[in-house]
Amino acid sequence: MALIVQKYGGTSVGSIEKIRAVAERVIETSIQGNQMVIVLSAMAGQTDGLIKLANDITEDPDSRELDVLVSTGEQISVALFAMAVKTMGYDARSLLGFQVAIHTDHLFGKARIHDIETDRIIRNLDQGRIVTVAGFQGLDDHGDITTLGRGGSDTTAVALAAALKADVCEIFTDVNGVYTTDPNICPRAKKMDFISYEEMLEMASLGAKVLEIRSVEFAKKFDVPIHVRSTFTNERGTMVVAETKDMEKVAVSGVAYNKNEARVTIRKVPDQPGIASRIFDPVFRAGIVVDMIVQNTSQDGLTDLTFTVLKTDFYKTMKLVSDIAAEIGAERVLGDEDIAKVSIIGVGMRTHAGVAKTMFATLAKENINIMMISTSEIKISCLIEEKYTELAVRVLHKAFGLDDEKEKAS
């Protein structure tokens, strides 16, 4: 008997018919003698709808109340799923984050899980029930509901798999696995059979939303193998596992893009010790994650500082930075939301030369201007105008030999 944690995303539970189909699929695996813990997302579009409701009240909703609101999407899914299982003659029990309990820190909207109690889940499993847990939500130590950030149900699933020492963690979604790039924008994307935790971490952090980044961090830390696969077929998907020697053979294994960031530029900042710290201090204290940062060499004691943040943090960041810019005597603050980051990823970059050169030349050939560049050992990212995103992804995918030849022939 195996203990299996499965997570179904929003599209997979997007209608009553789909919830019934998931219930049938889960029951089938359960009656083969497995214990099943099913993590569900909100039905497709619900979380966005709830955020919109909040934004209809105010542009900057109270973060505690926003979490109370957006966590309700998952509550609906688990209740409907448990009902569906019961109508099929099997026993199920839904549990919300606080009932489990999934303990997190206090950062509303991007809380981190620090501990999961497993007793209640195990008790229910031992009574022969299918247990369904609401994804994306937890409980802080003031007893308040928190949420884990967009896509956070993946993290709930992997963290539960680690806490329960599950035999396998399966992430069911609307594509067949992890591809060399987003199959919805590049028809020649290829499904990978395996990907290393390191590459998946980079792909996720650079925008491949098929797995949420913290879920991969958890999986790597606690050695949880993840199987990413389709809800709608029985095909084998992609295993996310520890790196093997073979994986270094190719220089670039994937291309990712992210349209969720915005750029902030502070013009003519006095170039003095401590200035960067003063600018970023209020931003960090507000829990805002800063991504790419570039500071130019100074001219006449003045410099420009540019960085990117999530679009959802853009409004708040502009306000914080404008206040500080006035205090330190910078000339002005500019913002740009029409940007995208395209990235190439591969553990093979450690041993292959010329990868950056190919990337820059490929973008240049299409006349795509690079605004910022950042690199790490296994990735290179370029900030470009948002309207060129799809084109950039496709030409890079081809330039690094990732195109699916079968697709080309058809």
Q: Which residues bind ligand ASP (CB under 6 A)?
A: 9-10, 41-42, 47, 73, 135-136, 150-154
Query: 314 has which bridge partners?
Result: none
For the bound state, the minimum distance from the C-beta of residue 12 to ligand ASP, rounded and expressed in Å, comes to 10
How many residues are given for the chain? Answer: 410
In angstroms, what is the minimal distance from the CB of 282 to ligand ASP? Answer: 27
Our CB check for Mg ion shows the closer of 9 and 346 to be 9
For residue 309, which of 342, 341, 332 has the smallest C-alpha distance? 341
x-marked contacts with ligand ADP along 133-162 as a string, rule CB under 6 A: ------------------x-----------
Six token digits for residue 63: 């973060």
User: Is there a contact between 136 and 153 (Cβ–Cβ < 8 Å)?
Assistant: yes
Q: Which of 268, 257, 250, 276 is nearest to 355 (CA)?
A: 250
Q: How far is CA 401 from CA 7, 114, 325, 351, 357, in A?
A: 32, 41, 45, 17, 15
Residue 11 site contact among ligand ASP, ligand ADP, Mg ion, none (CB < 5 to 8 Å, cut-off depends on kind):
ligand ADP
- The DSSP annotation for 205-269 comes to HTT-TTS-HHHHHHHHHHT--EEEEESS-----EEEE---GGGGGSS--EEEEE-SEEEEEEEEE
Residue 346 as a binder of Mg ion (CB under 5 A): the answer is: no
Minimum distance from residue 128 beta carbon to ligand ADP (Å): 28
- Per CB under 5 A, which of residues 3..42 are in contact with Mg ion? 9
Spatial separation of the C-alpha atoms in residues 98 and 138, rounded to whole Å = 6
Interaction pattern, residues 206-235, with ligand ADP; x per rule: CB under 6 A: --xxx-------------------------
- The residues with which 247 forms a beta bridge, in sequence order, are none
Q: In whole angstroms, how close is the CB of 1 to ligand ASP at the nearest point?
A: 28
Spatial distance between the Cα atoms of 71 and 82, rounded to a whole number of angstroms: 18
Q: Is 389 in the site for ligand ADP (CB under 6 A)?
A: no
> Nearer to ligand ASP by C-beta: 10 or 237?
10
CA R_g for the chain? 23
**Shortest CA distance to 171 belongs to which of 180, 161, 181?**
161
Contact status: 306 vs ligand ADP (CB under 6 A): no
173 interacts with ligand ADP by CB under 6 A: yes
Task: Using the rule CB under 6 A, give the single segment among 173-181, 266-274, 277-285, 375-383 that binds ligand ADP.
Answer: 173-181
Q: Does 151 bind Mg ion (CB under 5 A)?
A: yes
Nearest residue (CB) to ligand ASP, 73 versus 346:
73
- The alpha-helical segments, DSSP class H, found in 336-403 are 355-365, 389-399
Is residue 175 a contact residue for ligand ADP (CB under 6 A)? yes
Which of 260, 322 has the CB closer to Mg ion? 260
Provide the minimum distance between the beta carbon of 44 and ligand ASP in the complex, in angstroms, as a whole number: 9
3-state SS string for 139-179: ECCCCCEEECCCCCHHHHHHHHHHHCCCCEEEEEECCCCCE
The answer to whether residue 10 forms part of the interface with ligand ADP (CB under 6 A) is yes
Of 9, 73, 135, 237, the one binding ligand ADP (CB under 6 A) is 9
Q: Which parts of this chain interact with ligand ADP (CB under 6 A)?
A: 9-12, 41, 151, 173-175, 178-179, 181-184, 203, 208-210, 254
Q: Which parts of this chain interact with Mg ion (CB under 5 A)?
A: 9, 151
